[in-house]
A and B are shown apart, each in its own frame.
Chain A
Amino acid sequence: MKPILLHGHERSITQIKYNREGDLIFTASKDNQPNVWYSLNGERLGTFQGHNGAIWCIDVNWDTTRVLTGSADNTCKLWDCETGKNLNTLDVKNAVRSCGFSYSGNLLMYTTDKTMGHPCEIHIFDVSDPSQMKTGEPCIRIPINGPKITSAIWGPLEQYIVTGMEDGEICQYDVKTGEKIHNVTEHSKQINDLQLSLDGTMCISASKDTTAKLFDTSTLDHLKTYKTERPVNSAALSPLQEHVVLGGGQEAMEVTTSSTRIGKFDARFFNLVFEEEFGRVKGHFGPINSLAFHPDGKSYSSGGEDGYVRVHYFDNEYFDFRFEF
């Protein structure tokens, strides 16, 4: 395959998201301008200007009208996707680590860091309520005691939020009551990324402890484990086939001692059920920070520490590959 390289960011990529229909790719980076691209040919549609710090997270609602970004400049901004205009700025006490629209697009949530004496919190807003957006007061605020949240996603029916913590725990918080419903500790180090499957019944967690684990979203049962030798920064579930892709990094210490052979950081493909690796795609010049599958499963994008986003369209061999068992 001939990947398309998108070079719109000057610093490392922090998150990549596709919109629901798959024609747009939203990329967030440590430079302060999120970009949006057409996924078909890599043409850049625009950039959202206004943030002053690294953008940690980005999300788009289901009909691609609103974009939400969370940044290290202690704000979370809501944008209009068509014009790039900043519709709302929500001021927060801390940096915003993860954010997301709920399935219906009516609710949005973001989680904050735990620094400067302020605890880590989940804030939930009702988008359709103009008073909330103006004052910046969340309709629900859930304080978190203990380790801070490093990654969070909405549950599939907007009833709960699944969060990954710094110590490897995964918790479920009820949206209406703010209580912790469930928690499991399967990972030993922090969770770097959480992503849902296409139908929302399963979620995959990527952790610094060099594994990615598959969980049932509602019961948080641990279903599968995918092992690698490097900390996994991101993991995604294919909407089309029973494949999982893991992207990771390298321990910081190893960077100077290993050879600088160009483009040797790879995304690894595992079989969902058998947990066995079947393929690798090289190309990045730095650890891969974010992975996202196109909603039709025929392509995927990866964003790395090198600031490049690579959009890969799978060859026919990928679809013909049959796992022998």
Chain B
Amino acid sequence: MPSLADSKPISWAEQVEAGEDGSLPPATEDFDDHNNLKTITEYKYNDDGKMVKVVKTYKVERRRVPKSIARRKNWRKFGAAESDPPGPNPSNTIVQVEEINMQIILNKESKNQDQAEEDPLSKLKSQKLVSCRICKGDHWTTKCPYKDTLAPIQESLEGGDKKKQDDPGTPVGGGSSSTPASGGGSKPGGKYVPPSMRDGASKGRGETMKSARDESATIRVTNLSEDTRESDLQELFRPFGPIQRIYLAKDKNTGQSKGFAFINFHRREDAARAIAGVSGFGYDHLILNVEWAKPSGTS
């Protein structure tokens, strides 16, 4: 059981002076009757040779326990602990200072996670990553076997619609329409019409207009793990539609992700589907959070 302190308080200055002689000042014990806290103040030299003050606070409790337990508490220590003083020996008993909490995993979240996992994966599987513009086969356009026969007919029908797309593949969401564009394309025997002036082309400042409008097709994804890269985000969001821009917030010095990113889709409905599809999706060891980006946030 702890002993009551009987030393008078020594001022810090005196203690430092005592230390300058080379000897450590004595350890003091303080007993706070009101709160039942016992404080032991010790001095020792740390690794750098500097004198360090170590303050240990113990809570003294009185407990009622069955007789046998109380008897056992009074047993003498044996074996390797024979020479230990009463109370826990700090070399083998350490109270962890950082709190460790039980991470509660609710079953509902994991169920959603499973579904979300399946959806983009199944979308990826069902969607052709490479498709030919001419015959919609699983090959690049230039490698199409029907290049000579179908190609001219296709071009006359679809006009300038293809020119807008970034990738050679045709995504499931944004299917190119087959509406005949009047005066569009290179009609055999017709005058050449530049793409920007064809029907269906975005007029003049189409790009800037689009980018201003597209801020509404921007989503913010948070709770990314620190080793996520732009390519991961590209892979993850590509199934929902063509992406205009990806901005992943990175720490300048380490290059690690700060945990959030902004994805600009070309179309708002793709962005909406991305929110529905990726939100709650488990990526790496974290569950992603996807929502509309607030307009002032993206720049």
Contacts and interface: CB of A to CB of B under 8 A. Distances in A.
Interface string A271-302: 00010111111110000000000000000000
Interface residues of A, number: 47
Interface string B78-113: 111110100111011111110111111111100000
Interface of B: 65-66, 68-69, 72-73, 75-82, 84, 87-89, 91-97, 99-108
Contacts of B94: 4-5, 7
B102 A279 contact: yes
Interface string A250-273: 000000000000000000010000
A48 B96 contact: no
Given A42-B95, A44-B84, 7 more contacts: A4-B96, A7-B92, A21-B66, A23-B73, A41-B87, A46-B82, A280-B102
A229 to B, nearest CB: 13
A83 B69 CA distance: 16
Contacts of B100: 1-3, 281-283, 312
Contacts of B93: 4-7, 37, 41-44
B256 to A, nearest CB: 14
Contacts, number: 123
A80 to B, nearest CB: 9
A61 to B, nearest CB: 13
A84 interface: yes
A280 B80 contact: no
A218 to B, nearest CB: 31
9 contacts: A1-B100, A2-B97, A5-B93, A6-B92, A7-B93, A8-B92, A43-B93, A283-B100, A315-B101
Interface string A78-92: 000011100000000
Contacts of B103: 279-282
Interface string A25-39: 000000001010110
A5 B95 contact: yes
A7 B91 contact: yes
Interface in A297-314: 310, 312, 314
Contacts of B81: 44-47
Given A41-B88, A42-B93, A44-B88, A281 B68 contact: no
A46 B78 contact: yes
A63 interface: yes
Interface of A: 1-8, 21, 23-24, 33, 35, 37-38, 41-49, 63-64, 82-84, 269, 274, 276-283, 310, 312, 314-315, 317-318, 321, 324
Nearest to A280: B103
Contacts of A312: 100
A42 B91 contact: no
Nearest to B97: A2
Contacts of B97: 2
A64 B95 CA distance: 26
B96 A2 contact: yes
A21 B102 contact: no
A286 B121 CA distance: 33
Given A1-B100, A2-B97, A44 B68 contact: no
Nearest to B227: A259
A281 B94 CA distance: 18
A3 B96 contact: yes
Contact of B68 (A4, A43, A63, A324): A63
A281 B82 contact: no
A293 to B, nearest CB: 14
Contacts of B101: 1, 281, 315, 317
A64 B82 CA distance: 20
A279 B89 contact: no
B96 A276 contact: no
